[in-house]
Each structure stands twice: as C-alpha cells, then as structure tokens.
Structure 1
C-alpha cells in the first residue's frame, strides 16, 4: 500500500501540467495578497498621502492612541471631542444649513481615527443605513454616557424585526440570534488590527487554490480512461482495491498540501506586512452588530477551517466526477459550474430558499460571513433547530466529503471498460 500510495502521489505531483498549475496558483496568491499591502493608503495630518509600509506604520501610530477598553464613559468622551471640532468657526465651512469640517481639519483630526469613529457611529444607525459623513455622531445629544452598547442591542433588535415580503426572521431564529448576542462580552477592547481586517477582505481570493486543486486531480481516474490504462489497472491483483485507495489518498494529500502552501503564503504575507497585533481583539470592532463571540484570530481560524473543508469537499466531488466521466475536461467543466454557479445566478438579497442554497456553494462559502450584517445573521431554520451559516457550511462540506468518497472506488470499479 505504501509503495502504491507513493507512486500515485508522485504521479500527480510530478505531472508537468500540475506543476505549472500549482505555480500559477501560488503566483496569483502572492499577487492578490501582496497588492493590499502595496496599495495600503494612509494620510499624514497635513493631508499628505503615504502608501505601503509607511502607511501601515502610520496607521499603527494612529491606532496606538486609541488602544484600550471602550467603556461607555470613554465612548461618550470621544464623541464629545469629535463634536467639539464643529464648535470652532475656524474649523468649519458652511454651505447653507450644512456645516462641514474644512479639508485641512478633516485630514488632521478625523481621517486618522475614521475607522474607530465609524465603528461607533454604526451602532447608532438603523439597519441598512450608511453614514459615511458621521453625521449621527455630530448631532447626538449626550449625557454622562453615550449608550453605545444599548444602541447596539437596539440595532440588533431592529434588524431581527425586519418584516419585508421577501425577508423575515421567524421567532425561533430571533431567539437563536438573541441568545448568541447575549454571549458577546462587553465592553470591547480596541486597538490596531489592520492586518486582520485585510485578511477578512482577501480570504475569498483563495478560491484560486481550490480551482488549482480541481485541475490537478481531475485526471486521477478520467486520465486512465483516456489513456486506456483502466483495462490494465482493473485486471491487476490490487487494481480494484488497494490501488483505488492509493489514488484517493494521494489525491487528498496532494490537495491538502497545495491548500496549506497557499494559505501559509497568503496569511504570512499579510501578517508579516501588517503585523500580528490585534489578534485577541473582539470581532465586533469590525462591525458592532456581529453576533459571534470570537476574537479576530479565532474568526480567522474559522475562515481557514471552512476554506479547508471546501477544498476537501471539492476534491471529493472532483474524484467522483473523475471516476464517472470519461475525460478530465468534462470533469473541470462541471467543477467550474459548481464553484461559480452563484456568479451566474446572482444573489437576490432576500431570505429565500435559492439564496440559502447558493450561500453554500464554494464561491460563496469561502467568503467570510463577517462583517456584513446580511451574512452575519444568515441562518437555516429547521423544526426545533436553527443553524447559523458558519456551522451549516462546515456540516455540508464534511457530509459532501463523507458521501462522495465511498462512491469513487465503486464508480471506477463498475465502469464499462472500452
């Protein structure tokens, strides 16, 4: 078995086309994950733009002044300081009834802390409402505290109470999400976290590695049909038993190695450039309404786990197709359709059955559910049980792998030899 396994693994790994495909996937991963580093932009307090490593260092300096616990008193004080900027006539420009900060003062006092102020501002907004100008913070009337965490709770309640014709949460789902939200630890800790924010924005680009895996293992069985070697293999002593197991094991190990190399490259680039700081901060600093009680590191690990399961699930599907279909090209056509189906159909932005299905396809499944409200609160209600989108994706791809693998060998053994 060991010699067969090694032979099959080397057969996949040494194939010239596979080497090219893996190298291309690594190049694309390098390109996709280094671009956010090179294109990272920050502004000096005089409005001068800096890019790349200099911008990241500047962002760290700005964020260092904001580190600490977000108590109600601190949030209220920070909002008051922001509002104070508008009380000085020298800081503002009036356009009719509108009062805005001058470009110079906006660059000096707001832009360095914009993501922090935006996070606070979003807690006080109604669901599906944007306020890029931070007008809510500017016009708030404050007492001793800001009511930041109560505002978050009220916003979550309003989101769950949405009652559109095509979107409505059942009482069971509301109870599920309210229970999850009750587990969120407050007050939040805040600090520098640019690397983790960038990672969540880029994780979906690892779909390239999944496509590369499918291309490389598509010929594992179909290639034997095309070459005519299937008749020889099935007539040998171990052709219907150990050799099939060796092919399946080798394909999965190859898929795992390709995936891990791509992930290590992607994560390594981002965290080397941006730094590891912020790993223990709560996920809610990306979006205050996120209902998962996870740190940024824990959330990143969840994303990687789902990416891994999707990779293994698609490897299992590809092997089954390879055993069923006569050519590797036909296998890849089906794979691409399965992976990219949500792109062709498009999400409708509703809570319908079709969206619940499309959200489980590979292209959507590799996209982190944070920080968007739409995906953060996406759930699958069953009688007496509600399953969140993260758990559902894990279950689906574990089941896909478990169901497909036993049928791979059976399909290869029972196919009609030409």
Structure 2
C-alpha cells in the first residue's frame, strides 16, 4: 500500500514537473552561487568566474591561522599604510594584493569596535596599534556590556555571559567565503522547496476528493485507518526525499566548485556578538535543518488544509503565505516584533536572526530564539498529522 501511494505521488504529471523544476533550480542556484563572488586579481581586474571563490579563499588564506594580537596589528598596519601610501587609483589596482587578503580580518576588527552602531570601517582609521593589540580585552568587555544591556533580568544576563564565555580566544581564521555564500542561497532555495513540497503533499488527500474517489476510498476495510496512516507516512517520506535530494544537489555542485575552506572558522569572526557559538559548517547545517523543518511544516499544514477544504487550491497557498508573505507583514507591523520573532518565516531566514540577541525565559530556563522556533514548529508539524488523521477518520465514518 505504501509503495502504491508513493507511486501515485511521483507518477502524477504535475508532481513530476514540480520535482524536475526543483532539481533544475538547484543547478541554477548553484550557478548563481559559484559566480557571485568577486575576486580581484593582482593586476586589479575583477573576476566572477566559477573559480573565483577558490582563488578568493586562497588569497585570504595567506592570513589563515591563529589571530593573535600581533597578527591583528600586522593586518591593521597593512590596511593603514595602504590607505596612506597609495592614491585611490593605485589602491584599486593593488586591492587584490593589499586589502582583499585582510577583508575578513577588517570585518572582525570593525565589528568588535562597533557593538552598538552600524558597521563603519572608518572606525579603523580612528584606532591605533594599542587599540588593536588590546582588541580581545575590548571584545570581552563589550560582550559583558551586551549581556547586561540585552539581558532584562539577572537570569538572562547570567545566561548571556555564560554563552559569551564559551568563545575561545584568540580566534582561528580560515577564509569562509563559500560558506557565507551558500547560507544565503540555501535559505532562498529552501523556500522554493517548501512551496513545492507543500504543493505535492496537498494533493495526497485532495486528489481523492477531486476525483470523487473518496466514497470508495473511505468505504474500504482500512480506508479510515491504515490507509490514512499510509498517506501520512508517504507525505513524510516525500518531504524528506524531495528536500534532501534538492539540497544535496545544490550543496554538492556548489562546494565541489567553490571548495570548503572555512568549515571550522567560528561565525563570531563575521558577527562577534552573536549568541550562537558555532562554526560556519555548523551554521550551514543549522540552515539546512531549519529548511527541512520549514518543509515539514508546509507539508503538514497543506495536507490539513486540503483535508478540511477538500480541495488543493487553498492548500497550495499555505507555504507561500508562511515564507513569502508573512515576512513582509512582520516588517510592516514592526511594533509587534515580539510576536513575529516566533513566526515560521524565521526558519527560512536564519541569516537575519543569527546575529540578533533574542532570548526567552521560562521560569529559570532560558532558550535562544532559533532553537525555540525549531522545537516549536517541529512539534507543531508532528501534532498536525494526528489532526489530519482524526479529521479524515471522522469524515469517512460520517460518509458511511
């Protein structure tokens, strides 16, 4: 029965078209990813060829290793001397040699020195060697202030301080270009997969109503019990298969071309005050996991809507509303940020929330925003399936 249900799903022409479209988009997104990096050659010319990411990583990895205070001072000095000793035209021609290799280090220094303001590279022009040499002391002091400012209770402040204490200093550096690029594209592609999966799963029950086969289906011996469970299981397997296939194709193509430099680099090199202590490899895994939960939620809610309305037309709009429309509503109603900070759209937009200090307190227990959202919508998705079963089980009984 399970094999028959899976065959019904993947033999449906429009589902096959949707699946092929998802795979084609994976290839297209991989193409966008590998050509989205800007590499400045030694002669000053700019390249965005597929090999640019590897060349950019190799260029920056001249500075790979432990970012000791001495190393940071050396990078600061190179940046200052470049700005002082060369004209704008000369600096543009030698950007690939002088400034491009230290771009990530400049990002770290600037972000540490501007914890409460917008990113502004001019802060480095106002700094001196002593400031840079003591950057880790400044970093630790700023983390303490961030914890005291963003923590609204002593428990929250202690929680944030404990998180920041887990950051091991000095930081280790390796160019993270490919991972930073792929996190953005994986989020966008994850939205597309959630919409496609929601569409495919919505038809699992809706097709029976549209084909007028529901009377026969629910009149069979196991139509209201085992058959419904099999359809739900088929939806879970379809969600997993489609999502994993699409994401694997996107990741394999992209990383094969761009390389995996920076997989163990801490995310704090890009966002020093993030409360998510993780490497870029772990961040990418977090992004993919959130994307899967988003697809699971899209599948379950689409199926529930189809079971209630007995049509696919309304159900297919659920994922689009959750992940495309809801974020715009959240921005328009910014005064209700507390509510929208727990919306499912966060699952497909971790890049905008990984650097935000949003924590929630439940008595003596504390939890960060992204893990809370992940647990919340995983549980929601799994609880929806019994509701689908109950709804259709009663429908079949009433029909008899």
1:47 aligns with 2:44: yes
1:116 aligns with 2:105: yes
8 Å CA contact retained: 2:344, 2:377: no
Greater mean deviation of Cα atoms: 335-344 or 66-75 = 335-344
SS in 1 for 2:129: coil
> 2 CA distance for matches of 1:48 and 1:175?
50
Go from structure 1 to structure 2 and tell me whether the alpha carbon gap of 1:128 and 1:169 turns closer, same or farther (over 3 Å shift).
farther
Greater helix share, 1 or 2?
Answer: 2
> 2 CA distance for matches of 1:129 and 1:331?
41
Instruction: Report how far residue 314 of structure 1 moved.
Output: 2.1
Go from structure 1 to structure 2 and tell me whether the alpha carbon gap of 1:417 and 1:344 turns closer, same or farther (over 3 Å shift).
farther
Partner of 1:135: 122
1:364 aligns with 2:342: no
> 1 CA distance for matches of 2:156 and 2:369?
12
Instruction: Report how far residue 203 of structure 1 moved.
Output: 2.1
Instruction: Report how far residue 372 of structure 1 moved.
Output: 5.6
Partner of 1:184: 167
TM-score by length of 1: 0.87
> 2 CA distance for matches of 1:141 and 1:101?
24
Instruction: Report how far residue 40 of structure 1 moved.
Output: 2.2
Instruction: Report how far residue 61 of structure 1 moved.
Output: 2.7
> 1 CA distance for matches of 2:228 and 2:27?
35
Q: Which runs of 5 or more structure 2 residues have no equivalent in the other structure?
A: none
SS in 1 for 2:235: helix
TM-score by length of 2: 0.90
Greater mean deviation of Cα atoms: 314-323 or 340-349 = 340-349
Q: Work out which of the residue numbers 325, 330, 333 in structure 1 matches 2:317.
A: 333
Q: Which runs of 5 or more structure 1 residues have no equivalent in the other structure?
A: 94-99
When the two chains are superposed, the root-mean-square deviation of aligned CA atoms in Å is 2.5
Instruction: Report how far residue 316 of structure 1 moved.
Output: 1.7
> 2 CA distance for matches of 1:388 and 1:365?
14
Go from structure 1 to structure 2 and tell me whether the alpha carbon gap of 1:176 and 1:337 turns closer, same or farther (over 3 Å shift).
same
Greater mean deviation of Cα atoms: 243-252 or 333-342 = 333-342
Instruction: Report how far residue 189 of structure 1 moved.
Output: 0.8
1:408 aligns with 2:373: no
Instruction: Report how far residue 335 of structure 1 moved.
Output: 3.8
Go from structure 1 to structure 2 and tell me whether the alpha carbon gap of 1:251 and 1:113 turns closer, same or farther (over 3 Å shift).
same
Spell out the pairing of 1:251-330 with structure 2 (5 A cutoff).
251-330=235-314
Spell out the pairing of 1:14-413 with structure 2 (5 A cutoff).
14-88=11-85, 91-92=86-87, 102-106=91-95, 108-131=97-120, 134-143=121-130, 146-160=133-147, 169-205=152-188, 206-347=190-331, 354-369=336-351, 373-374=355-356, 377-413=357-393
Please give the per-residue CA displacement for 1:148-193, whole angstroms capped at 9, x wherever unaligned: 2222233334445558xxxx84443332222111111111111122
> 1 CA distance for matches of 2:380 and 2:230?
20
Greater mean deviation of Cα atoms: 59-68 or 150-159 = 150-159
8 Å CA contact retained: 1:287, 1:371: no
Instruction: Report how far residue 105 of structure 1 moved.
Output: 4.9
Instruction: Report how far residue 22 of structure 1 moved.
Output: 1.1
Partner of 1:96: none
Equivalenced residue count is 397
> 2 CA distance for matches of 1:371 and 1:409?
35
> 1 CA distance for matches of 2:276 and 2:327?
27
